């Protein structure tokens, strides 16, 4: 069995639902990235969207993660204005990804997830990581149990368990 780490940022717990579903199915460890900037309230939401569009860095906890010993990484972000959350962009820029296999996932209200995947992929490849698969999950108007079911469905369709073998 490969050692898998699932890294994610989740403001509304929807991306976390996907991450924890993956972790349960793959016997993987999860690591939540915390954005230390206030992202709640109307003004903060506007600021968050501007930060996402401009790819502004933010202060995160943990700032980086020691990936030694992990064979496979999943990195997940919500979609903010068609961009990854600033916490995930900041983290990717801090990680040593050379030679790491990465599976990306994005949650989205309705659309824009593929743009998030593409942007994360560009940044990860620039840091020496290999994207071996990716997927998006629509979470708009869905309950957590529906998000979990959708995650299980995508895992089966993409045969994600195959990457954890060996």
- Rounded to 5 degrees, φ, ψ at 143 are -80, 160
Averaged pLDDT of the chain: 96
Q: What's the CA gap between 88 and 106, in Å, rounded?
A: 11
Residue 144 tokens read as: 């957590």
Location of structure tokens 């990717």: 92
The domain in which residue 107 lies consists of: 4-164
CATH number, domain containing residue 144 = 3.40.50.360
Q: How many domains does the chain have?
A: 1
DSSP notation for 17-44: HHHHHHHHHHT-EEEEPEE-S---SHHH
Q: What's the CA gap between 33 and 61, in Å, rounded?
A: 6
**Can you say whether the dihedral through the CA atoms of 117, 121, 6, 24 is positive or negative?**
positive
- Rounded to 5 degrees, φ, ψ at 137 are -130, 125
| Sequential pLDDT tens for the chain (166 residues) | 899 999 999 999 999 999 999 999 999 999 999 999 999 999 999 999 999 999 999 999 999 999 999 999 999 999 999 999 999 999 999 999 999 999 999 999 999 999 999 999 999 999 999 999 999 999 999 999 999 999 999 999 999 999 998 7
Q: What's the CA gap between 56 and 52, in Å, rounded?
A: 6
With 0.95 as the threshold, say if the pTM is over it. yes
DSSP 8-state class, residue 62: S
Q: What's the CA gap between 126 and 146, in Å, rounded?
A: 35
Q: Check if the beta carbon of residue 103 is closer than 8 Å to that of residue 160.
A: yes
133 beta partners? 103
Q: Which residues contact 137 (CB under 8 A, 6 or more apart)?
A: 18, 105, 106, 107, 108, 113, 147, 150, 151, 154
């Amino acid at each position: 069995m490969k050692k898998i780490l699932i890294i994610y940022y989740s403001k509304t717990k929807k991306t976390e639902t996907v991450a924890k579903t993956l972790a349960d199915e793959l016997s993987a460890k999860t690591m939540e990235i915390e954005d230390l900037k206030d992202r709640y309230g109307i003004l903060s939401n506007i600021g968050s969207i501007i930060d996402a569009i401009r790819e502004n860095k933010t202060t995160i906890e943990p700032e980086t993660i020691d990936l030694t010993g992990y064979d496979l990484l999943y990195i997940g972000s919500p979609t903010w204005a068609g961009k990854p959350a600033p916490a995930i962009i900041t983290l990717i820029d801090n990680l040593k990804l050379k030679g790491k296999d990465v599976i990306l996932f994005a949650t989205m209200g309705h659309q824009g997830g593929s743009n998030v995947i593409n942007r994360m992929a560009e940044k990860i490849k620039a840091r020496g990581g290999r994207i071996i698969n990716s997927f998006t999950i629509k979470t708009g108007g869905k309950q957590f149990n529906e998000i979990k079911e959708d995650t299980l469905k995508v895992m089966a369709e993409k045969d994600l368990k195959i990457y954890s073998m060996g």
